[in-house]
Amino acid sequence: MSSESSLAAQRLYNDPRVAQAKELLLAAVADHQKELADVREPNPALASDYKVMLDQFSQHRGGSTFFPYLGSGIGNGSYVEIADGSVKLDMITGIGVHGYGHSHPLIVEAGIDAAISDTVMQGNLQQNTNSCDLSKLLVDTACETGAELKHCFLTTSGAMANENSLKMAFQHNHPANRVIAFSHCFAGRTLALAQVTDKAKYRVGLPDTIAVDYIPFFDQNAPQRSTEIAVSHLKYHIDRHPGKHAALWMELIQGEGGYYPGDQKFFEALIEVARENNIAVIADEVQTFCRTTRAYAFQHFGLDKLVDIVTIGKFSQLCATLFTDEYAPKPGLISQTFTGSTGAIFASHAMLKGMIDNGHFGNNGKNMQLHNHFVEGLNRVADKHPGAISGPYGIGGMVALTPFDGSADVATDMVRRLYDHGLMSFMAGGAPSRVRFLMPLGCVTEQDIDAACDIIEAVVVAMA
């Protein structure tokens, strides 16, 4: 017997009945998802039951959901069926999570593999071989062009990955106890991360935890000047609190802040100062992972040799903190009962591998082609309806527009109207407020993007 088949698990996964069952299940999903190929209105016959269910859910969770959305459990790529009978074109994907859209065969198959695995969850004490496979893929991909991020700690949320990264930076740089972050950054919602996140509203009623000093982000309209200003702010904070900063916290593309990318020279200038002062360089890639020309945005910006700790989330299904030898935590600092569900681990591996194998990365990879197609569509709408929407439109798989005057009310109104017309989006940014799209890069087609632009145009006309 070969070592390949010496384990019962291998024999199970190679069992022809499993292959047959998979085929049947995938065929059933394919048959039923076929009908979900276009936007559809809610079914009036389901309206009253749906409303009861939504009201009950709102009551149970202690507040209503932003959209009246409860998915039925099936979709077709960029399209998803809602339990009110409607079909929506999903260009927000749970804020960047469903990177292969809905009911994609790759994900269904990963789910079947997970379903016949022995446990639902994996954690620090007991992990399966697929946790090793995933960690290896994440680390190998990260180190491909020179980064030293040799380690990867899996976890269940972006906030937890970020929390772990902060702990590593603080422990390594003890007794430094401050963080430097960009204005308008979003880092998550734990007590520590609510302090890093530059939004007072998200801290109402919370005690102060860590001290954070803010520096301005890159301005595309004034690259050199904005770099000089950010560097001088950074030096000012370091001079004011010498030896007190443990980490420079960086979103390389501001996500919640409004979809504004930074720039290689800008980051390099800041990192140079941080390194001179032994400050850990952390890239928060929870929203950017898999959305630029490379799997990691730090690679897109050529910062391979300059990052100490990198966090990922959303698209990656489960989350992770990658770190160099230098920042390895001492025993006891980081541990978790759950590092991820078996389903998320299988899906994460399949999705990242799928993105690599299917040509999504590279300067002219699918991510950038899809971005360019979206931008062309938005430009068409902007040209036909002057003053209705404007850029900049973001980068790669992170697309945003400013509607009309960019007020928060107008952006929220647009997002709600888009939903009613069948297109899912969400807000981002403050001044101006923007409407953002996180398309399902793994499956979205140019036709889907054209359909989204048609809906945007219809809504713009209705709002004018």
Ligand X SMILES: Cc1ncc(COP(=O)(O)O)c(C=O)c1O
Residue ranges binding ligand X (CB under 6 A): 95, 157-159, 162, 186-188, 251, 255-256, 284, 286-287, 313
Angle between helices 129-143 and 342-357 (to 10 degrees): 40
Which tokens sit at 445? 């087609």
CB of 345 to ligand X, least distance (A): 16
Give the helix ranges, DSSP H, for 251-386. 264-276, 297-300, 342-357, 366-384
Cβ at position 94, least distance to ligand X in Å: 10
How far is Cα 444 from Cα 100, in angstroms, rounded to an integer? 8
Tell the smallest beta-carbon distance from residue 352 to ligand X (Å). 17
Q: Where are the beta strands (DSSP E) in 174-330?
A: 178-182, 211-215, 245-250, 253-254, 260-261, 280-285, 309-312, 319-323
Of 180 and 460, the one with the shorter C-beta distance to ligand X is 180
Least Å from the CB of residue 395 to ligand X: 14
Q: In the complex, what is the shortest distance from the CB of residue 159 to ligand X, in angstroms, rounded to a whole number?
A: 3
Residue number, 76 or 162, with CB nearest to ligand X: 162
- Describe the crossing of helices 366-384 and 446-463 by its angle, rounded to 10 degrees: 30
What is the sign, positive or negative, of the torsion defined by CA atoms of 105, 107, 113, 115? negative
Which is closer to ligand X, CB of 287 or CB of 348?
287
Shortest Cβ contact with ligand X: which residue? Answer: 158
Cis peptide before 432 (omega within 30 of 0): yes
User: CB-wise, 258 or 406, nearer to ligand X?
Assistant: 258
For the CB of residue 8, give the shortest distance to ligand X in the complex, in Å: 35
Nearer CB in complex with ligand X: 313/377: 313
Encode burial over 435-454: b for 16+ CB neighbours within 10 A, e otherwise.
bbbbbbbbbbeeebbebbbb
Phi, psi of 198 (to 5 degrees): -90, 65
- In degrees rounded to 5, what are phi and psi of residue 150? -85, -10
CA distance 339 to 138: 15
Name the residue nearer to ligand X (CB basis): 249 or 419: 249
Q: Whose structure tokens read 């079914």?
A: 43
From the CB of 214, what's the least distance to ligand X, in Å? 16
Residue 324 Cβ, how far from ligand X at the closest point, in Å?
A: 20
Specify the residue, 81 or 251, whose C-beta has the smaller distance to ligand X. 251
* CB nearer ligand X, residue 155 or residue 324: 155
Contact call for residues 249 and 210 (beta carbons, < 8 A): no
